[in-house]
Copies of this chain bind each other. A is one copy, B any other.
Amino acid sequence: MSISPPTLNRLCLYLRSLKRLQEDGVQQISSQKLAERFHLSAAQIRKDLAHFGAFGVRGVGYQVDELIPTLTSILRLDRRYRVVVVGMGNLGRAFASHPGFNRGPFVVVAGVDSDPAKIGETVNDFVVRDSQFLEEVTRESGAEIGVLTVPAHGAQENYERLAKAGVKGVLNFAPTRIRTIPGVPLKDVDLRIYLEELAYYLPFDDS
């Protein structure tokens, strides 16, 4: 069963919201309450979840402890994904040492850089390797996902090298457009969208 990108994004948000509720000790929640609390649509939540066989009980709602593993499985987050980071500058390091990666489904297992000052440094549990050995590093570490935190001009070449070395997908932070190879999906990340989404809600006197 294939999920469209917008639906997938919503399912990820539901899972995140449910985990927060679980942390708070909430055991059951209605689609209305879930929608209110996390600024979602109740009808959309019911439709999305029913599509995957998860139905709430009328008057009671969804069982948080049951829905979390169901969504985790649907989203294929019930396995481990090894990640290699290409470009150990500020963003690459931030990514590699983020407390959220290295537990849960994603683990950063390797990182490369072309800067001699960075090669050989220990970040987290790995030693930064020379980017000229990217293919070897990728194969040896068993990385399935590549993260590009390189300048724009190096992104295309590194995407292709990651693909050749066998990664199954690439997350791109470089502000450029990459021509993709069939079978190696790419996801572009632009952190400005968060500022854009925040800016609209700022309480200005003139608005």
Which chain A residues have a beta carbon within 8 Å of chain B's beta carbons? 3-6, 8-9, 12-13, 16, 20, 39-41, 75-77, 81, 83, 89-91, 93-95, 97-101, 104-106, 144-145, 152, 168-171, 175, 177, 183, 185, 187, 189-204, 207
Contact = CB atoms under 8 A, between A and B. Distances in A.
Given A95-B191, A185-B198, 15 more contacts: A5-B39, A9-B193, A9-B197, A12-B197, A75-B199, A75-B200, A76-B200, A76-B207, A98-B191, A100-B175, A105-B196, A106-B192, A106-B199, A171-B198, A185-B201
B83 A89 contact: no
A141 B127 CA distance: 39
A79 to B, nearest CB: 9
A150 B97 CA distance: 13
Contact of A198 (B6, B89, B187): B187
The copy count of this chain in the complex is 2
Nearest to A98: B191
Contact of A189 (B91, B105, B194, B204): B194
Given A90-B94, A200-B76, A207-B76, A83 B195 contact: yes
Nearest to A184: B203
Nearest to A168: B202
